[in-house]
Amino acid sequence: MTGNQPTPQLAALYQELILDHYKRPRRQGQIEDPDVDIHMMNTSCGDEVRLQLRVVDDVVRDARFQGTGCSISQASLSMMADLLVGKTRADALALTRRFKEMMHGDTDAARDRRLGDLRALAGVAAYPVRVKCAMLGWNALEEGLRKLAEEKGV
Ligand code: ZN
């Protein structure tokens, strides 16, 4: 990893957070008649996600996912879905950019409180193959919001 290494204590806490989200995913499930419904795969690892959003008045009111795959991909999804609720589309896209910056080794992004539990994934930046795992949910989010804008013409 480039830049500041987390202390061993922080690294252990981060590892615990990742496993916790993996074992007890937040916001797993489905939304009836969702505004965003997107399926995406990360073929390099075999991770898979179906992400659904309820978007009302430009705000994400609900986010649910069904996923299979490695702990990094599923923990990232769980953390992302949890963070998205209550955010505007612009906020959601800003978070996506910030998360990508962190995945490119940006140490400011890795300390950005707006990313919440997702900061636990900062160490993944050192492993390009795993970056694809961590990015799966975010790529689905971006694509889903792009399609929504297309459909609604906004
Ligand atoms: Zn994976």
* Domain at 41, CATH number: 3.90.1010.10
Domain count, the chain: 1
Instruction: Collect residues with CB below 5 Å from ion ligand 1.
Output: 45, 47, 69-70, 73, 133
pLDDT in tens, 47-65: 999 999 999 999 999 999 9
Ligand 1 centroid to residue 130 C-alpha, Å = 6
24 domain-assigned: yes
> 96: helix, coil or strand?
helix
pTM comes to 0.93
Summarize the confidence of residues 59-80 as an average pLDDT. 98
Ligand 1 centroid to residue 95 C-alpha, Å = 21
Q: What's the pLDDT at 3?
A: 53
142 domain-assigned: yes
1 domain-assigned: no
Q: What's the pLDDT at 5?
A: 74
Structure tokens of 23? 């074992």
Q: What's the pLDDT at 23?
A: 97
Q: What's the pLDDT at 137?
A: 98
Summarize the confidence of residues 4-8 as an average pLDDT. 78
What domain range includes position 99? 8-152
122 domain-assigned: yes
Ligand 1 centroid to residue 30 C-alpha, Å = 22
120 domain-assigned: yes
Enumerate the β-bridge partners of residue 28: 65
Ligand 1 centroid to residue 37 C-alpha, Å = 21
Q: What's the pLDDT at 1?
A: 45
Q: Residue 128 above 50 pLDDT?
A: yes
Q: Residue 2 above 60 pLDDT?
A: no
- pLDDT more than 70, % of the chain: 97
Ligand 1 centroid to residue 42 C-alpha, Å = 7
Q: What's the pLDDT at 153?
A: 78
Average pLDDT, the chain: 95
Q: What's the pLDDT at 152?
A: 84
